[in-house]
Structure 1
Amino acid sequence: MTARRRAALLAVPALCGLASCGIPATGVVEAGGPAGGVVPTVRVYFVADGKPAPVPRRAVTPIGAASAVEVLLQGPTAEEQAAGLKSLLPLTGADLPTAVPADPPATETPRTPATEAPRAAGAADFAKVTTRGDRVSIALSLPSAGALPDLAVTQLICTAAEAAEAANSGDDPVTVMVAGRDGRRLEGTAARCPAT
């Protein structure tokens, strides 16, 4: 018997043993969507110990200023809250600050109150984000951006600026302008935001 024939005869039982090792044949197993590469993340800013604190979050939509602010307005998770993170931004309609009209002076005849009623809004209605080049505008449903604490405005500016810079991947810093319905503007860039 030749060596070649002997090798062929030994290979046949080995292949049969491997084929019958007890693993059943299966079809295609669905295990979710196709691999998409890197999962997009966005950094949102909450508050810890009276300072802005960046937190990475997974994003389900393309990263941009609007999607980042939307993630920010969802607030910190229960675990993040337990770790001391909080948001100074309204997270529900009940959290929205309302402007209380001042009473007229006693010597003045009362005027008819303004026809604009306080707006009941949820977090989705709280901020409208628009990006144009290296400028991001955040229009708040509040009467004035000044109704928010400075740290809350910083949360918005840092979150929107970093997301817009990541989306643009440009060298120019992004300026974020936050305004209420009165038109008063508060501006800032990512330069005032802590990296860690």
Structure 2
Amino acid sequence: MRAVRRSALLLLAALSGLTSCGIPTTGVVQAGVPASGVAPTVRVYFVADGGLFPVRRRITSVVGVEAAVELLLQGPTLPERFKGITTRLPQPAAVAPADGTPAPGGPSELMEVTAHRSGVTIELSALVGRPDRLGAAQIICTALDAQRITDPGTEPLPVTVTGPDHRRVEGTGKECGVG
């Protein structure tokens, strides 16, 4: 009988330990964004060995074509430049008007991005000038990659880069070399 009583007491103690830990229940506590483990990135296209070279950049703002091209216009980092990665586009800090007025405040003053049903148009200001074919491809490929991130599963729209002289260069991604 003692063994049965002892077993019953042990079973009761074990069950009470499982049913209550002494911590009161709470509702859902909001504590920011969920952890993802992977920081979002976008590919920006620079130049190395005479061709396009994709480099991943962390995205700190809402992903979009304008934000991606702004990252591109910031140019390669110092370590990237030491590796031979360059750009055919001017960096905003290096661009100053010929009349001596201060350089523009940022990349967004160097371009205007417009999305429409048939594609994306990026108009460059006179400060940037007319990009050569490789410079335009840098912009086009960067814009196409941003579209793939913002709207996955759909085919990106063609991108047209227009210089201040109204010459247009259109691209659909064939020149990018990365799927």
Q: TM-score, normalised by structure 2?
A: 0.70
Cα distance, 1:134 vs structure 2: 4.5
SS of the equivalent of 1:53 reads: strand
Partner residue, 2:52: 52
Cα distance, 1:49 vs structure 2: 1.0
Q: Tell me the alpha carbon deviations over residues 123-178 of structure 1, each in whole angstroms, 9 at most, x when there is no partner.
A: 331122122234111111127853x2322111101101221233233544421111
Give the gaps of 5 or more residues in structure 2.
18-30
User: Aligned partners of 1:183 and 1:93: how far apart in 2?
Assistant: 24
Cα distance, 1:88 vs structure 2: 1.9
Cα distance, 1:186 vs structure 2: 1.4
What pairs with 1:22-61 in structure 2 (closer than 5 Å)? 33-37=32-36, 39-61=39-61
Kept in 2: contact 1:41–1:59 (CA 8 A)? yes
Distance change (3 Å), C-alpha of 1:35 and 1:124: same
How many residue pairs get aligned? The number is 160
Partner residue, 2:107: 123
User: Aligned partners of 2:5 and 2:123: how far apart in 1?
Assistant: 81
Identity of aligned residues (%): 41
Q: How big is the alpha-carbon RMSD for the aligned residues of Structure 1 and Structure 2? A: 3.2
Partner residue, 1:135: 119
User: Aligned partners of 2:107 and 2:68: how far apart in 1?
Assistant: 13
User: Aligned partners of 2:33 and 2:153: how far apart in 1?
Assistant: 30
Kept in 2: contact 1:65–1:131 (CA 8 A)? no
SS of the equivalent of 1:66 reads: helix
Distance change (3 Å), C-alpha of 1:44 and 1:143: closer
Q: TM-score, normalised by structure 1?
A: 0.65
| Matched AA of 2:85 | L
Distance change (3 Å), C-alpha of 1:65 and 1:118: farther
Q: Tell me the alpha carbon deviations over residues 26-57 of structure 1, each in whole angstroms, 9 at most, x when there is no partner.
A: xxxxxx84325353221110111111011122
Kept in 2: contact 1:141–1:181 (CA 8 A)? yes
